[in-house]
Amino acid sequence: MPPIGSLSPSTFSLPALTLVIGGARSGKSRLAERLVTATGRPRCYIATAQAFDAEMQARIDQHRTDRGPDWQTLEAPTDIATALAACDPGSAILIDCATLWLSNHLLAGHDLDAAGTTLVQALTTHAAPIVIVSNEVGWGIVPENALARQFRDAQGRLNQQIAARAGSVIGVMAGLPFALKGALPQAAL
């Protein structure tokens, strides 16, 4: 894929909701950034990561540097609905990622089903097109502990809820996008 910065603004149109899903380091965040950038709209980035150590802070800083200064960035470890309300309805929105958002709720002891319902409602009622990134965590072995199994099951349910409402679902493996639902947009290639 060409670097994000090599895309020129276009009249590319996103569906109201796009899910970009794949494994860790598959290229899904980079693809999601390409899709949002290709719209030519102002860009709003909703970040769900929290920096609990220096290594994670370095990752967050690198993501910001890679995106460049042309993104409005909002931190929303758990409250995506409020962050969405702060994004201009004329923008294109990227939420990265549903996996960290869900783990933040799990570790805070929140009701994961209720949080997921609130998230999906917020995603489907916002005026701007939204691209949300999520990890596919169900392809590995069954985790050995209850907390990990609870997370894996909740992530699978959340991914299914988002995919059911998305106009486009794009899988990413080894940096290569493939259409799971809807057509693969030219901006993804």
Residue 63 bears catalytic tag: yes
* Residue matched to tokens 């809820």: 161
Please provide the DSSP assignment of 107-161 as one string: HTT--HHHHHHHHHHHHHH-SS-EEEEEE--TTSPPPSSHHHHHHHHHHHHHHHH
Q: Cβ–Cβ contacts within 10 Å for residue 89, how many?
A: 11
CA distance 74 to 46: 5
Q: Which of the residues 63, 105, 110, 126 is marked catalytic?
A: 63
Give the angle subtended at the CA of 28 by the CAs of 22 and 32, to the nearest 5°: 135
Task: Give which of 58, 125, 67 is closest to 94, Cα–Cα.
Answer: 67
Catalytic residues: 63
